Structure 1
Amino acid sequence: MKTILHKASDRGFANHGWLQANHSFSFAQFYNPEKIQFGALRVLNDDVIAPSMGFSTHPHDNMEIITIPLKGTLKHKDSMGNKWETIQSGEVQIMSAGSGLMHSEMNAKTDEYLSLFQIWIIPNKTNVTPRYDQRFFNEEERQGKLQTLVSSIDNQDEGLKIHQDAKLSRIDLAQGQNYTYNTISKSHGTYIMTISGDVTIHNNMLSTRDALGVSETDSFTINTNSNAQLLFIEVPMS
């Protein structure tokens, strides 16, 4: 088993006033040659957006983009005809940028901050027709068991679909409750983001917003030191 530990305090940070952004990988003005990507995972941004603020219309192409609001409500419009769709905490949004699109994303609330993860995954097919989807995921369905949020468009697994042999999932574990994660294959790696809590994985201790990349294994075990919420991003490593 191969592991790489990314402490929360070592992430890139940008304070734009309206946006507080933490970057797990090189992004915008943050550049670290040792943190370009983890396999097909290119971006994991942990953003806090001020009320009524957000990202004005801008382009994307050939990227699978997943947004997970953790607190608050996001609103989205794009060149595919979606007009200010709202995505609330508990929902997940996916967007296959494919051959190219334009979109805007804003905090839908005027009186509260929006906290979210934005994830970019390099696709296994380029210049596909752009597509958009979103879905609500019940918190109760990830208590002590894996809840699949996103998987490959080429298989019949549950969850939203993207153009990559990847899997995004969440689990909420109680203190003292352990869990063994089984990978798609040994050629995949899994990036574990600790949303909250304290866990130990293969002698690596993780606290809130710490992350661990695990590869070259078909399984690994999480030992919880407190109640914990975890996000798994499993991607091909080559």
Structure 2
Amino acid sequence: MIIERRSADRGHVRAGWLESRHTFSFGSYYDPAWMGFGPLRVINEDRVAPGAGFPPHRHANMEILSYVLSGALAHRDSSGAGGGEIGPGQLQWMSAGHGVEHSEYNASGTEPVHFLQIWLQPDRVNAAPAYARRDAGAGGDWQLLASPDGADGSLAIRQDARLYALSPPAGAEVARELSGARRYWLHVAAGAVTLYGRELQAGDALGFVEETATLRIERSGNTPADVLLFELPA
């Protein structure tokens, strides 16, 4: 089964300094048809005005990933390990564990920051909070960014999930095998790609459940594209 989620159909929240598109139900946006996809609970595409951001607040028992598309994000948290700025081509992981207070602000007073906020439910509860980040610039082949075991320099998240990134090269098709024993969520973070005869724009997504198939992805047009693929428990 293939599930389609178009960008324009996502929840839309505008609150002065923040404009956000919600793939799944979040905050004031609620749709019982879109409560998550397996342990993938949140994909929010946030644009934060210069100098603004999310003041200190608490989370518990959630794996939180931040993927910056443009601008810079300033992070602080109470774990003692988290702090600093991340920019385009970087991925930040914070495991809230038994509880952590954190803030996320636009690091610039003049330019907006555009990023994806991603939440996954963990496979354990009340662990110690943890923080890490890594370069995540997508290349011409699939790059493993996060995994349960930290393979290939990926972030070692607390869930049986893997996050891959891809920037398809111009004029070439990139393949990826899918196992029917897993489920997958493909999110176009930037640009446009063609897949299964569908053209997908930034913000569009496809979910795959019990699909044993080969993904064949091509970039559409001359603008670079950035694609994220989540491999999740069935």
TM-score, with structure 1 as normaliser: 0.90
In 1, the alpha carbon distance for the partners of 2:90 and 2:28 equals 29
Partner of 1:166: 161
Which amino acid in the other structure matches residue 228 of structure 2? L
The equivalences for 1:140-219 within 5 A come to 142-153=138-149, 156-183=151-178, 185-218=179-212, 219=214
Decide which of 216, 220, 223 is 1:221's aligned counterpart. Answer: 216
Instruction: Decide whether aligned partners of structure 1 residues 69 and 228 sit closer, same or farther in structure 2, where only a CA change above 3 A counts.
Output: closer
My pick for the range that moved more, 221-230 or 100-109, is 221-230
Q: Secondary structure at the match of 2:131?
A: strand
My pick for the range that moved more, 66-75 or 83-92, is 83-92
CA contact (8 A) 1:76 1:86 kept: yes
Q: Secondary structure at the match of 1:67?
A: strand
Which amino acid in the other structure matches residue 216 of structure 1? E
Map Cα deviations across residues 187-228 of structure 1 (whole Å, 9 max, x no partner): 322111112333332343312221111121344222443353
Partner of 1:236: 233
In 1, the alpha carbon distance for the partners of 2:218 and 2:70 equals 26
In 2, the alpha carbon distance for the partners of 1:156 and 1:209 equals 28
TM-score, with structure 2 as normaliser: 0.92
Map Cα deviations across residues 3-39 of structure 1 (whole Å, 9 max, x no partner): 1111100000000010001000000111111110011
Q: Secondary structure at the match of 1:35?
A: coil
Please tell me whether residue 56 in structure 1 is matched to residue 50 in structure 2. no
Q: CA deviation at 1:126?
A: 1.2
In 2, the alpha carbon distance for the partners of 1:20 and 1:13 equals 8
Which amino acid in the other structure matches residue 206 of structure 1? L
CA contact (8 A) 2:66 2:92 kept: yes
My pick for the range that moved more, 112-121 or 196-205, is 196-205
In 2, the alpha carbon distance for the partners of 1:25 and 1:43 equals 6
My pick for the range that moved more, 223-232 or 185-194, is 223-232
In 2, the alpha carbon distance for the partners of 1:21 and 1:53 equals 14
In 2, the alpha carbon distance for the partners of 1:85 and 1:143 equals 25
Gaps of 5+ in 2: none
Matched residue count:
231
CA contact (8 A) 1:40 1:122 kept: yes
The equivalences for 1:61-80 within 5 A come to 61-80=60-79
CA contact (8 A) 2:11 2:29 kept: yes
In 1, the alpha carbon distance for the partners of 2:183 and 2:82 equals 36
In 2, the alpha carbon distance for the partners of 1:169 and 1:220 equals 13
CA contact (8 A) 1:175 1:228 kept: no
Q: CA deviation at 1:44?
A: 0.1
Q: CA deviation at 1:143?
A: 3.1
Two-structure CA RMSD over aligned residues (Å): 1.7
In 2, the alpha carbon distance for the partners of 1:125 and 1:66 equals 17
CA contact (8 A) 1:70 1:115 kept: yes
Which amino acid in the other structure matches residue 145 of structure 1? D
Gaps of 5+ in 1: none
Instruction: Decide whether aligned partners of structure 1 residues 234 and 157 sit closer, same or farther in structure 2, where only a CA change above 3 A counts.
Output: same
CA contact (8 A) 2:188 2:228 kept: yes
Instruction: Decide whether aligned partners of structure 1 residues 12 and 92 sit closer, same or farther in structure 2, where only a CA change above 3 A counts.
Output: same
